[in-house]
Structure 1
């Protein structure tokens, strides 16, 4: 980001506003990855600045390609990898896109009224999404405790959605269902499994094992 500031100082006035747009449209987030062409970054940053819809071809992590139309909100830098946080028009939800997988199309779309940022923290939104994507096993759970109480006992990478004053929904993950179960046990809170069924099956097997152990201790 310091490089952008230095570049802006030496550019002619006709180009300076483009770099200023890129600087104002980005949020730094520490760590590494592949570089992205400056022309792509400045084109996306201009749509963020001007509140114009952006259309692009996108290659997903599975190699599949799709055409997307979004309301771009902010560019986030994590080391050498760039991400675009945007409202996906077709999916009616916030999404994070890797810029190195995007091929913007011209012209840009119509102007739009900016929406409130997801969670009020764009960098945190991206970080949580990246951490969630790295987990081999994931689970969504309804915990019978308030969101505030639960959030204080969980790392920031785990998403906690408020329910009523006595419940919340947690989206979490780990390298195995065993580790998710261990973390839940440490919370000492009643919960319901919302998804996936495989995690519920794992809990049934674990519960049966513990019950057998308890019965053995009783009979002894």
Structure 2
């Protein structure tokens, strides 16, 4: 009888906790807006880029994130719908400029992978179209133009080397909050690869990034 009572209690507890587990799927705390430097991205690929890289930061992704991790691949939502994008040719045209697939040349496929892996995690806030509109709107903010921020502060592409703190400080002063600077390694050099800015849960307000994923501060950063 005691074992039977214990089994009943465990079953009740399972049902009590199950809704909490299911409703937590897709929850997130903030967005990471990830900009990638096209030349470094192409250097880091196993296969050559199909599109000649431009010396510009374009979007890698808008990633709903928790303060503990990025919940990519953990969310369940409506899969990417090509036809929805086709209904807004202006948005498609904008995204081809701000969010191109430099590596494979398949823009729609790139957007689809990003939505399925990351965008669905924010579906409680944005539908598919709204998600891409928000990313493009952030990229188009003059204040958030990472390419021009670095150029205007004499951080020039073409092989120059710079201190991590200097790059971080320049961007922080320009945008008003701390970014994340990410690198990839080529031989013995770390290359400036990505700049990440962080945004509130509704994607409207810039916040401080607190991730530890960044370049090593022990080495200079090469800017291809």
Q: Which interval holds the TM-score relative to the shorter structure?
A: under 0.3
Q: Which has the higher strand share?
A: 1
Structure with greater contact order relative to length (CA < 8 Å, sep ≥ 6): 2
TM-score, reference length from structure 2: 0.22
TM-score, reference length from structure 1: 0.22
Q: Which has the larger radius of gyration?
A: 1
